[in-house]
């Protein structure tokens, strides 16, 4: 049990355990591959696959295990192989629209306490992109934090200016600026992370997420144990590990940078991110006001008075429209898929392909 606690298992999850499944082992997903997984029981990393029944009952990408999920598994071969039977209910979920034309969710990570948006202080710094990440994080009911990297590239005054710009759109958030080249700043960042909490690093490619993780852990901890892959080539070691545990017990999930961040916000993600717009909309003349062409629109009036910046308003409208479109397409697709059981069949095809390799 202690081993699971060291991976973030707490009372919230303990209360969710299905007592009819106590013959299974509880393990946490640390890597998701296309058709296989790596899980950890807090002692070792274990290659894992899903049961056929699991696949059969999955209707949607949302039903599949994500990095950070707790799952019920059966262990075989001296804990070298795990078969995943079910997912424990999630405390939180970070998801985005899969890139390209596909209307499907892509799961980024599950059971995150704090999601860290990282932007580098050079050309990557962008408030509109920050808002986009915030919609996704708020939608997942996760606490955001902001890390500004590459502080070695700009002056202290410029850094303060950028922090103030963020505070104008988001008053209560931790903002940490640092350079990966500055050891004392790295030491300072360590105090940000709390033991047994799960964090997730988000941000464009090249902002320094993986560099920070490598700086936070000792190199020898980063090395992973041999993972058995059922591909006939025997054991080999993964070089990639998405979930790591810091010396103080904090758990961090690294993510590759995402080129596009399509959002689907049907809960409160958009309203929580643009909360002043959300509040003003109560004062619009029409209940279903879209804040674009209507008369007596409190939002448009606030933009006119300069209380809401045009850039922020435009970004709100852009994300709102995109999210609405994505959500409608998603609902439509779900109805079609349900009719034809398409998700199961396409997934099974992938699995057969893999097994036949």
> Which residues inside 162-191 make contact with ligand GTP, applying CB under 6 A?
179-181
Cβ-contact 143, 135 below 8 angstroms: no
DSSP per-residue letters across 250-270: -EEE-----S--B---SSSHH
Say which DSSP state 88 is in: P
Binding residues for Zn ion (CB under 5 A): 284, 289, 291, 297, 299
* Shortest CB 319 distance to Zn ion, Å: 16
Q: Which does 42 bind (CB under 5 to 8 A by kind): Mg ion, ligand GTP, Zn ion, none?
A: none
Tokens 């049961």 found at: 51
Q: Which does 269 bind (CB under 5 to 8 A by kind): Mg ion, Zn ion, ligand GTP, none?
A: none
Q: How many residues sit in the footprint of ligand GTP (CB under 6 A)?
A: 17
Q: Is 24 helix (H, G, I), strand (E, B) or coil?
A: coil
Q: Which does 284 bind (CB under 5 to 8 A by kind): Mg ion, ligand GTP, Zn ion, none?
A: Zn ion
Binding residues for Mg ion (CB under 5 A): 209-210
* Shortest CB 324 distance to Zn ion, Å: 15
Verify binding: residue 209, ligand GTP, rule CB under 6 A.
yes
Q: Which does 74 bind (CB under 5 to 8 A by kind): Zn ion, ligand GTP, Mg ion, none?
A: none
Verify binding: residue 244, ligand GTP, rule CB under 6 A.
no
DSSP per-residue letters across 30-55: EEE-SS-EEEE-SS-EEEEEE-HHHH
* Shortest CB 290 distance to ligand GTP, Å: 35
Cβ-contact 121, 154 below 8 angstroms: yes
Verify binding: residue 290, ligand GTP, rule CB under 6 A.
no
Q: Which does 341 bind (CB under 5 to 8 A by kind): ligand GTP, Zn ion, Mg ion, none?
A: none
DSSP per-residue letters across 280-326: HGGGSSSTT--SSS-TT-HHHHHHHTTSS-HHHHHHHHHHHHHHHHH
Binding mask 141-160 for ligand GTP (x = CB under 6 A): --------xx-xx-------
Minimum CB distance to ligand GTP smaller for 114 or for 180: 180
- Tokens, residue 331: 């609902």
* Shortest CB 256 distance to Mg ion, Å: 6
Helix (H) / strand (E) containing 221: helix 219-222
CA gap 188, 5 in Å, rounded: 25
Q: Which does 180 bind (CB under 5 to 8 A by kind): Mg ion, ligand GTP, Zn ion, none?
A: ligand GTP
CA gap 102, 104 in Å, rounded: 6
Residues that bind ligand GTP (CB under 6 A): 149-150, 152-153, 179-181, 203, 205-211, 256-257
């Amino acid at each position: 049990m202690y081993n699971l606690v060291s991976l973030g298992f707490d009372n919230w999850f303990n209360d969710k355990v299905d007592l009819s499944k106590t013959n299974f082992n509880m393990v946490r997903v640390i890597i998701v591959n296309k058709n296989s997984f790596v899980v950890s029981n807090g002692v070792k990393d274990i290659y894992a696959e899903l049961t056929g029944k699991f696949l059969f009952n999955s209707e949607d990408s949302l039903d599949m295990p994500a990095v950070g999920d707790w799952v019920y598994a059966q262990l075989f071969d001296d804990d070298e192989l795990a078969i995943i039977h079910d997912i424990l209910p999630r405390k939180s979920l970070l998801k985005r629209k899969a890139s390209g034309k596909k209307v499907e969710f892509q799961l980024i990570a599950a059971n995150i306490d704090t999601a860290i948006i990282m932007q580098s202080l050079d050309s990557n710094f962008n408030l509109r992109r920050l808002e986009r990440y915030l919609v996704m994080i708020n939608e997942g009911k996760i606490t955001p934090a902001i890390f500004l990297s590459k502080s070695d590239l700009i002056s202290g005054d410029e850094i303060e200016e950028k922090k103030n710009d963020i505070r104008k759109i988001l008053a209560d958030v931790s903002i940490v600026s640092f350079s990966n080249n500055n050891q004392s700043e790295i030491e300072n960042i360590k105090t940000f992370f709390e033991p047994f909490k799960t964090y997730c690093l988000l941000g464009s490619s090249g902002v320094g997420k993986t560099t920070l993780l490598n700086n936070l852990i000792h190199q020898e901890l980063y090395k992973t144990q041999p993972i058995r892959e059922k591909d006939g080539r025997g054991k080999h070691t993964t070089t990639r590990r998405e979930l790591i545990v810091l010396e103080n017990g904090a758990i961090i999930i690294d993510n590759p940078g995402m080129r596009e961040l399509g959002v689907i916000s049907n809960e409160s993600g958009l309203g929580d991110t643009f909360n002043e717009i959300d509040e003003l909309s109560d004062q619009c003349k029409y209940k279903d006001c879209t804040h674009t062409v209507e008369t007596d629109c409190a939002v448009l009036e606030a933009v006119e008075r300069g209380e809401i910046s045009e850039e922020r308003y435009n970004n709100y409208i852009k994300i709102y429209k995109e999210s609405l479109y994505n959500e409608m397409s998603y609902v439509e697709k779900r109805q079609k898929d349900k009719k034809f059981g398409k998700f199961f069949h396409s997934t099974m095809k992938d699995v057969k392909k893999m097994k036949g390799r």
